[in-house]
Structure 1
Amino acid sequence: MLRSLYSGVSGLKSLQTDLDVVANNIANVNTVGYKASRVIFQDLISQTVSNATAPTTTSGGINSEQVGLGTKVGSIDTITTNGSPESTNSSLDFYINGNGYFAVQEGSGTSAKTYYTRVGAFERDSDGNLVSTSDGLKVLGWSGTPTAYTGSNTVTTTGTPSTINVPDEVNGNEYSAGSLAIDSNGLITATYGSQKYVLGKLAFATFTNPQGLQKVGDSDFEASANSGTATYSVAGDNGVGTLVSGELEMSNVDLSTEFTNMIIANRAYQANAKVITTSDDILQVLTNLKQS
């Protein structure tokens, strides 16, 4: 059977994956915190028709002769560049102006699962927990006994971060609705009665290879064998940016790039399909020779 036939088929399969990735990027152009993907192609093995020969005293060397056997998808990478901030005017919406991810937790105890996200849309749920508004996962950070805000408060940020609770009352004073706030350094405060209290500090995760994070839906990621484990720190440390209140990070999909990629993939798909039909025509000619 003709090698070109199988090469064309491999091209169709690979380009279909490319179109799938491009389509998903375009579908998520308005998805908050979404990170675009791209496809990297690799050639398949080549069949060696003749080996290379070294030069001699009387003649020059001869290169090897090889025929390629098609293409394959080498990798599907995540592009981790920051998306543009979009103003929301909500005091509990946050944009990370730099690197790092918010850490959120699903479940509790030994069954708890930690995910990472760039979506900083938070709220206080009915149990007082600080949660992500998009999926209800609990936001992680460091907290302790509420202390009166002085403007120079410090929060112990060592050890594994845990969920953050905004209690209904502190020292007999009830929580003042709508007073929950987080500053640019991740310091969490709320007002009880007439006194402002420090409740904790947000934790941010960084990774040796953030491109190795795996998408799990809802604009969340989980660590993989190639991303490395999460290193937790506070805003402004370890490469983590500061927080910008009242803004959310939009998708980093570039529509002009995606439409260009779609056109290229479409033309390449048509060309590979033409290779298959041309190979079929050649086989038909051979069949006709036998019949004649």
Structure 2
Amino acid sequence: MLRSMNSAISGMQAFQTDLDVVGNNIANVDTVGYKSNSAEFSDVLSQTMAGGNAGSTTTGGVNPEQVGLGVKVAATQMDMSQGADSTTGVATNVAIQGNGFFVVTDGTHDYLTRAGDFSIDSAGNLVLPDGTIALGYATAPTSSSATAPTTKMNVLTLAGTGNQVSNVTIGSDGSITASVTDSSGNTTTKTLGYLALAQVPNPAGLVKTGDNLYDAQSAPAGSATYWTPGQGSYGTLAAGELEQSNVDLSQQFAEMIVAQNAYVANTHMIGTDNAILQALVNMKNS
């Protein structure tokens, strides 16, 4: 009797986690670069009531008699498919078309992200809304064996001391171009540097750290490789665009209904077990 009750309890716990995942997906439906998650279940150890045996030429085989002991959440999987782009018209907003992640730093640790809502701060840094600074290269690397980027994309530093910078734009190849005015008042258009993109063998294994960021050192994802946009299998950039969340609301609502009904069904199982146990307790009065 307790086996079915314990199985029902495990079902309630599993579907509560499923609802947690669905709720987080729906909450992030408008989060730039967000990747939806899904909960995947697996059964737990089954209790063998009677063993089975193989058949022979004279006797038939018998399958084992087993009773399952419930369910568990085996994993939560990220859907790394590309979200739809939305047009912002902001020159420093960029969306990755294809594979890759932007590389940013908070000064002590590097992160990866698909969110490209960059802007120029008061110090000239190309930053995300949380203040992390984009990393790249002063000159474009010539091969996919490029080392991890260490150059902070600061347009004032890259343009040279004493120069003024305006009209910053980002090209499809990651090039950061701006109008640079020197101390004599002469203005020229210069390429200041190149944004870096990273790839990992298992993107779904990236560890989320909040603020649309993933830990660049996520062990399950594997070691990152780096290059500039448009090279090899690395995606290109679309300026004035942002990649939106890939959450499919209709799919999430359907999953929510399934999880809710499954949760309720498991509570009914516990109610049935309770009624049977109560009948056993009351047998002494019959």
Give the superposition deviation at 1:166.
Answer: 1.2
Say if 2:186 is the partner of 1:191. Answer: no
Give the superposition deviation at 1:65.
Answer: 0.6
Contact 1:8 1:275 in 2 (8 A): yes
**Which amino acid counterpart does residue 142 of structure 1 have in structure 2?**
Y
State how far apart, in whole Å, the 1-side matches of 2:158 and 2:25 are: 45
State how far apart, in whole Å, the 1-side matches of 2:232 and 2:157 are: 34
Give the superposition deviation at 1:290.
Answer: 2.9
* Partner in structure 2 of residue 142 of structure 1: 137
**Which amino acid counterpart does residue 125 of structure 1 have in structure 2?**
D
Distance 1:71 1:172, change over 3 A: closer
Say if 2:263 is the partner of 1:284. Answer: no
* Partner in structure 2 of residue 174 of structure 1: 163
Aligned residue among 190, 195, 201 for 1:202: 195
* Partner in structure 2 of residue 216 of structure 1: 209
In the TM superposition, 1:45-124 aligns within 5 A as: 45-107=45-107, 112-124=108-120
Normalised to the residue count of structure 2, the TM-score between the two structures is 0.92
Say if 2:243 is the partner of 1:249. Answer: yes
Give the superposition deviation at 1:237.
Answer: 2.2
SS in 2 for 1:60: coil
* Identity of matched residues, %: 46
Contact 1:115 1:221 in 2 (8 A): yes
Give the superposition deviation at 1:189.
Answer: 1.5
**Which amino acid counterpart does residue 98 of structure 2 have in structure 1?**
G
Coordinate RMSD, CA, aligned: 1.8
Aligned residue among 229, 249, 254 for 2:223: 229
State how far apart, in whole Å, the 2-side matches of 1:125 and 1:233 are: 25
State how far apart, in whole Å, the 2-side matches of 1:197 and 1:232 are: 24
Say if 2:8 is the partner of 1:8. Answer: yes
State how far apart, in whole Å, the 1-side matches of 2:11 and 2:160 are: 69
Say if 2:122 is the partner of 1:126. Answer: yes
State how far apart, in whole Å, the 2-side matches of 1:256 and 1:23 are: 13
Runs of at least 5 residues in structure 1 that lack an aligned partner in the other structure: 145-153
State how far apart, in whole Å, the 2-side matches of 1:83 and 1:96 are: 10
State how far apart, in whole Å, the 1-side matches of 2:62 and 2:141 are: 71
Distance 1:270 1:174, change over 3 A: same
Give the superposition deviation at 1:172.
Answer: 7.8
Normalised to the residue count of structure 1, the TM-score between the two structures is 0.90
Say if 2:6 is the partner of 1:18. Answer: no
Give the superposition deviation at 1:168.
Answer: 6.8
Contact 1:169 1:192 in 2 (8 A): no
- 1:29-80 residue CA offsets vs partner (Å, 9 max, x unmatched): 1111111000000001000011111223432111111000000000011111
Contact 1:129 1:165 in 2 (8 A): yes
